[in-house]
Structure 1
């Protein structure tokens, strides 16, 4: 049996003896959206749990639009234009809109990498800045969470009149699912916050694992921190293995996120008929395997 794994930009083919293969696990085939940009616009106008984005934006003087860093294959070229257009038509001028890259403790994304992430027109016309998690002076202190995590969030986000996050919903090895609240914590959090939230008290919990939200302290904690920091609107997407958009959700940080999670659960759940000795997998290819740290996603 010849199997192709997503690996880097080109993929990796593996030859396996048929007699040794128990099962090939793959996401169920989803139906890509015929008009993803139109789906985004409709979600902005009819969101889940909030007024339309245009209504939220009226009367606001500044906006911060948060995007994932290069390690997440978020289709920003589809998501961002309708968001930015809505903000400007609602009275927030382009020069008062900041696109903030939620790097967490990852390296900054610069130059051609930014162009690849958002597309050349947006890269050339809008102010795009990186979060710097190791520079505490760039963060606002918002107290402590109920579990004692010190809350330091990027000051540029905290001080924005309108706070919008984008993202990608998929299983996450310790937070249950990515997207939603994760763009704020850890995406815009300082080292002092992340090192506690990523600490053994949270990660050793049996529910801190992929696909689990209920009684997952990692999920519960960063949801509380994100809500405390404030989030007016999210736009999240679900993609398939070919990076085609299957679903778009928008609106309230928790309601829209959970709507997306329910969609993901339908297409990623599978079982193996028996225990196996060896699992051959990858971290899903570029950009998910950009850094060595991301290789843990293969597990």
Structure 2
């Protein structure tokens, strides 16, 4: 079978194992531009024309290189609609929502946004303005100056399964992508992540999602255009009020991406591919999505195998480096998990959830360009998938682990 690796695939054969492949049913994909234009015509809530004035300065917050989003198409459609509202191109600033990821290079921005790259700036988490508080006033919501200074705030995004928010998208692009360490520290801290309802695939009754949505109100998010993915491509596009956009697309995605699991396996092989397998920080999402989702398909002591290219090693951003320092400096997963339960710096949350998984399961990363980094981070490196598995194992293969929801 073919599994993703970087922008290509690898051929994986497991003749000595009993293999089951988990493929979501999906649905018929849509053309992104056509669906985006239709979404703007039939927006959820007030249309864009009612949310922007001709003399407004507009900030559009878009996802960064770690998200698989056709931001060039979504941005093109948004700019056309803004022009129809008599908003000139020169009134628009595109803010790349980095969160604590590294800044994108000029070449990467041009590749991502095409003819609109000249409008884009990287978010600077050090240049933020407080717009209010959440958590009963204890946590300031700080947003990048270009967003705060805009008269109208728009966002793009992908509504995809997310370890904490249930599904990403909506206000998350602005609050996390164009926010500061304060809100990331609170929403990604051990107290929040331990709360009931904070889990993959859940939107309703999810305290993480609710906090992000409240912070989005404070940030002045006026309008979102988001999409969701399935096995064959884009499942749908919705535009309008952020909360409702996320909920509609999450419902579509949940129906298309769920795979029932009725047995336990010795090992799970998780496909990732670009852009998420660019670094170890992002690629480990596959392991945590599988082991900490609705249905962990592994037997006690079962192994997780993730083919990942890792051309950036662990990753260069602030969050990625904090993740690396925590894992590489630990003697074992259990002691790291217990230590981090008392708190950690923003960005290190991925080390926390990875440690949580590693307490129960070995994690092997194969086919990578950075095996030494893998070994330093309490994981195992192997040349290929077959090298990471015991002959005779019962193996579940998930070709697209980040867009598959395992359920009972």
Specify the alignment match of 1:30 in structure 2: 27
* Structure 1: runs of 5 or more not aligned: none
- Give the C-alpha shift of residue 185 in structure 1: 2.2
2:179 corresponds to 1:185 = no
Distance in 2, matches of 1:288 and 1:6, equals: 11
Specify the alignment match of 2:8 in structure 1: 10
What is the TM-score of this pair, normalised by structure 1? 0.90
* Structure 2: runs of 5 or more not aligned: 288-408
Specify the alignment match of 1:170 in structure 2: 160
Distance in 2, matches of 1:146 and 1:19, equals: 50
2:107 corresponds to 1:82 = no
Distance in 1, matches of 2:89 and 2:275, equals: 29
- Give the C-alpha shift of residue 49 in structure 1: 1.3
3-state DSSP of counterpart to 1:71: coil
What is the TM-score of this pair, normalised by structure 2? 0.67
3-state DSSP of counterpart to 1:232: strand
- Give the C-alpha shift of residue 245 in structure 1: 2.3
2:238 corresponds to 1:249 = yes
* Structure with the higher strand share, 1 or 2: 2
3-state DSSP of counterpart to 1:179: coil
Distance in 2, matches of 1:184 and 1:114, equals: 18
Distance in 1, matches of 2:256 and 2:276, equals: 19
3-state DSSP of counterpart to 1:267: helix
Cα distance per residue 1:4-45 (max 9 Å; x no partner): 222211223322237522x21122232122x43122122112
Distance in 2, matches of 1:6 and 1:171, equals: 18
1:262-277 alignment runs, 5 A limit: 262-277=251-266
Distance in 1, matches of 2:15 and 2:209, equals: 40
Distance in 2, matches of 1:18 and 1:255, equals: 47
Please say if residues 235 and 252 of structure 2, whose CA atoms lie closer than 8 Å, have aligned partners that are also in contact.
no
Root-mean-square deviation over aligned CA pairs: 1.7
Quick check: which has more Rg, 1 or 2?
2
Distance in 1, matches of 2:251 and 2:55, equals: 32
3-state DSSP of counterpart to 1:57: coil
Distance in 2, matches of 1:241 and 1:191, equals: 34
Cα distance per residue 1:55-74 (max 9 Å; x no partner): 32234421011110000010
Please say if residues 58 and 153 of structure 2, whose CA atoms lie closer than 8 Å, have aligned partners that are also in contact.
yes
Please say if residues 57 and 91 of structure 1, whose CA atoms lie closer than 8 Å, have aligned partners that are also in contact.
no
Please say if residues 49 and 256 of structure 1, whose CA atoms lie closer than 8 Å, have aligned partners that are also in contact.
no
Distance in 2, matches of 1:176 and 1:190, equals: 21
Distance in 2, matches of 1:109 and 1:191, equals: 19
Distance in 2, matches of 1:264 and 1:37, equals: 19
Cα distance per residue 1:225-264 (max 9 Å; x no partner): 112212111000112345x322110000111211111110
How many residue pairs end up in the alignment?
286
Specify the alignment match of 1:128 in structure 2: 120
1:25-174 alignment runs, 5 A limit: 25-33=22-30, 35-50=31-46, 52-119=47-114, 121-123=115-117, 126-133=118-125, 135=126, 138-147=127-136, 148-174=138-164
- Give the C-alpha shift of residue 271 in structure 1: 1.8
Distance in 2, matches of 1:83 and 1:261, equals: 22
Distance in 1, matches of 2:231 and 2:37, equals: 24
Distance in 2, matches of 1:240 and 1:293, equals: 23
3-state DSSP of counterpart to 1:254: helix
